[in-house]
Amino acid sequence: MSLSNIDLIEERIEEQRKRLNEEQRRAIRSILENPLLEDGFLLPIVDGPPGTGKTTVGAHACIYGILENIMEGVLYVAPTNFAAQQAKETYERLGLRPSDVIWLNPKARIKDWNRGIIGTRWDLSDLGPDDIRRLRNVPIIICTPYMLGRIKKGGLRSSNIKVLIDEFSQINPAVFFMIVGQTGAIREKYSRGGYALLGDPLQLPVVTTQEELMENVVEFIRARRTIEGGLNTLTLQYRMHEEICNAVNRMRQELSPWHDFAWLQPSNDVRNRDLESLGYEYAEERVPDGLCLSREELREILDPSYALVIINTDKLPGNNDEERTRSGSLRNIAEAEVAIDIAIAAYESYQAQEGRLMPTIISPYSAQVNEIKERLRTICPSHYDDLGNRVITAYSSQGREYPMVIVSLVRNNPQRRIGFLEDEKLRAQVYVACSRAQAKLIVLMSRDTFGGRPLYEELANVGTSQHALIWGWD
State the nearest-atom distance from the C-beta of 303 to other proteins, in Å. Answer: 33
192 in contact with other proteins (CB under 8 A): yes
367 in contact with other proteins (CB under 8 A): yes
Whichever of 158 and 396 has its CB closer to other proteins, that residue is 396
Interatomic CA distance for residues 474 and 464, integer angstroms: 14
Whichever of 231 and 240 has its CB closer to other proteins, that residue is 231
State the nearest-atom distance from the C-beta of 438 to other proteins, in Å. Answer: 24
Binding other proteins (rule: CB under 8 A), the pick from 6, 8, 10, 26 is 26
Interatomic CA distance for residues 82 and 89, integer angstroms: 11
154-158 long-range CB contacts below 8 Å, 24 or more apart? Answer: 154/124, 154/127, 155/189, 156/104, 156/132, 157/73, 157/75, 157/183, 157/191, 158/1, 158/72, 158/73, 158/189
178 in contact with other proteins (CB under 8 A): yes
Binding other proteins (rule: CB under 8 A), the pick from 3, 9, 30, 143 is 30
Residue type at position 339 = A
227 in contact with other proteins (CB under 8 A): yes
Running DSSP on this structure, what letter comes out for residue 401? -
- Apex CA 51: angle with CA 50 and CA 53, to 5°? 110
Interatomic CA distance for residues 382 and 360, integer angstroms: 17
Binding other proteins (rule: CB under 8 A), the pick from 29, 153, 286, 315 is 29
Whichever of 8 and 180 has its CB closer to other proteins, that residue is 180
181 in contact with other proteins (CB under 8 A): yes
Q: Which of residues 281-300 bind other proteins (CB under 8 A)?
A: none
210 in contact with other proteins (CB under 8 A): yes
Is 365 exposed, middle or buried, given 0-12, 13-18 or 19+ CB atoms closer than 10 A? Answer: buried
374 in contact with other proteins (CB under 8 A): yes
174 in contact with other proteins (CB under 8 A): yes
7 in contact with other proteins (CB under 8 A): no
Q: Which of residues 295-334 bind other proteins (CB under 8 A)?
A: 325-329
State the nearest-atom distance from the C-beta of 265 to other proteins, in Å. Answer: 19
What are the two backbone dihedrals, phi and then psi, of residue 400, each rounded to the nearest 5 degrees? -115, 165
Q: Which of residues 102-161 bind other proteins (CB under 8 A)?
A: 121, 125-126, 146, 148-149
Q: Which of residues 244-273 bind other proteins (CB under 8 A)?
A: none
Whichever of 34 and 466 has its CB closer to other proteins, that residue is 34
Interatomic CA distance for residues 250 and 310, integer angstroms: 15
230 in contact with other proteins (CB under 8 A): yes
393 in contact with other proteins (CB under 8 A): yes
**196, 46 in Cβ contact below 8 A?**
yes
Q: Which residues contact 466 (CB under 8 A, 6 or more apart)?
A: 305
State the nearest-atom distance from the C-beta of 226 to other proteins, in Å. Answer: 7
Interatomic CA distance for residues 408 and 301, integer angstroms: 15
Binding other proteins (rule: CB under 8 A), the pick from 167, 243, 337, 371 is 371
Determine the interface stretch with other proteins among 7-15, 66-74, 178-186, 247-255 (rule: CB under 8 A). Answer: 178-186
State the nearest-atom distance from the C-beta of 150 to other proteins, in Å. Answer: 11
Whichever of 289 and 423 has its CB closer to other proteins, that residue is 423
Whichever of 132 and 221 has its CB closer to other proteins, that residue is 221
- Distances from the Cα of 357 to the Cα of 12, 158, 298, 440, angstroms: 28, 45, 15, 11
Q: Which helix (H) or strand (E) holds 174?
A: helix 173-184
Angle between helices 217-224 and 173-184 (to 10 degrees): 90
State the nearest-atom distance from the C-beta of 117 to other proteins, in Å. Answer: 15
Q: Which of residues 34-63 bind other proteins (CB under 8 A)?
A: 35-37, 39-45
408 in contact with other proteins (CB under 8 A): no
Residue type at position 126 = D
Binding other proteins (rule: CB under 8 A), the pick from 225, 271, 286, 315 is 225
Q: Count CB neighbours of 474 within 10 A.
A: 7
Binding other proteins (rule: CB under 8 A), the pick from 9, 63, 142, 175 is 175
Is 415 exposed, middle or buried, given 0-12, 13-18 or 19+ CB atoms closer than 10 A? Answer: exposed
Binding other proteins (rule: CB under 8 A), the pick from 114, 226, 353, 464 is 226
Total residues binding other proteins (CB under 8 A): 73
State the nearest-atom distance from the C-beta of 416 to other proteins, in Å. Answer: 19
Interatomic CA distance for residues 273 and 70, integer angstroms: 38
Interatomic CA distance for residues 200 and 179, integer angstroms: 19
Interatomic CA distance for residues 3 and 97, integer angstroms: 8
Binding other proteins (rule: CB under 8 A), the pick from 184, 388, 419, 451 is 184
Pair type for strands 111-112 and 117-119: antiparallel
